[in-house]
Amino acid sequence: MSGVSRWFVLLGKEVLELQRSFKLIWVPLLFILLGIMQPVSTYYLPFILEKAGNMPEGTVIEIPMPEGGQVLADTLSQFGVMGLLVLVLVFMGTVSGERNSGAASLVLVKPISFSAYISAKWVAMQLLAWGSLLAGYVAAWYYTWLLIEVVPIVSFLSSFAMFGLWLSFVMTLTILFSTVLRSAAGAAFAALGVSLLLSMLTGLLPKYMEWSPGAISGYAYALASGAGLASVEWGLAVGVTIAVIVAALYGAAALLRRSPAID
């Protein structure tokens, strides 16, 4: 069996585990629910406040309806909190769990490289993350069009790709820390902590951190809302993010080579 064939066997194993644990079903469904909730709650917010706010009779609540692009940006913000938290929790033990149980050693005894082992897990993570994001974002786009207004497909696709890169970055941090740390909870905390720190630093120092991966999510929100961004604004951040992803995957494989199992 060739190296490529063995890699696809590893990938199939990872996808099968996601299927057996029903993660291929409930994670996309969660993203769809989050995607639908944002435009629906925005559209019906005045009615909800009127019925639940105990206002005096005759009170008229007028809330300006936001533009469709802003609704999609708010949807991405929801994905960046709840959706990202769920994805990290789902994959926080992807390597550490198998190292602790000794399963990683059994797999790596066979003619399988450490880079193939890590990359197969990473691709499975990306398939679930990007697939869930697409399902939820399409639902948000459809309901925004149905209830508020049509958002140009260019804004939809560009913001989807940009935010997907942010998810890929955080997922890569998760697999890296899952390789470094024995605790799955520690891996989740470290991945979320680093991503949150980068986002906070980018928000506090936007002129000095516009190249940072932490700026990617902000660029996605801007693209969703229809703001024009010159390629020089986001090009460097995209390049740095991709470079960090590659370096982190290489580092995870190198660290795993040193210690496939935890005694």
Chain segment 28-69, per-residue pLDDT in tens: 999 999 999 999 988 877 776 666 656 556 555 566 777 888
How sure is the predictor about 101, in pLDDT bands with cuts at 50, 70 and 90?
confident
The pLDDT of residue 206 is 81
d(CA 134, CA 128): 10
Residue 127 has pLDDT above 90, yes or no: yes
d(CA 55, CA 136): 34
Residue type, 259: S
How sure is the predictor about 174, in pLDDT bands with cuts at 50, 70 and 90?
very high
CB neighbourhood size of 68 (10 A): 25
* Residue predicted with more confidence, 111 or 59: 111
Residue 150 dihedral angles phi and psi, to the nearest 5°:
-80, 135
Residue 188 has pLDDT above 70, yes or no: yes
The pLDDT of residue 51 is 65
Which range among 60-69, 88-97, 147-156, 251-260 shows the weakest confidence by mean pLDDT? 60-69
Residue 262 has pLDDT above 60, yes or no: no
d(CA 86, CA 89): 5
Report DSSP letters for 47-77, one per residue. Answer: HHHHHHS-PPTT-----PPPPHHHHHHHHHH
Q: What is the pLDDT averaged over residues 146-166?
A: 92
For the chain, the average pLDDT equals 87
CB neighbourhood size of 58 (10 A): 5
Residue 208 has pLDDT above 90, yes or no: no
Residue 257 has pLDDT above 90, yes or no: no
The pLDDT of residue 169 is 97
The pLDDT of residue 62 is 63
Residue 167 has pLDDT above 80, yes or no: yes
CB 6 within 8 A of CB 119: no
Q: What is the pLDDT averaged over residues 203-212?
A: 85
Residue 111 has pLDDT above 90, yes or no: no
The pLDDT of residue 227 is 72
d(CA 90, CA 126): 12
Best CA proximity match to 94, nearest among 184, 6, 34, 217: 184
* Residue predicted with more confidence, 102 or 194: 194
Q: What is the pLDDT of residues 19-30, one digit of tens each?
A: 999 999 999 999
CB 27 within 8 A of CB 86: yes
d(CA 120, CA 53): 51
* Residue predicted with more confidence, 111 or 39: 39
Q: What percent of the chain has pLDDT over 90?
A: 52
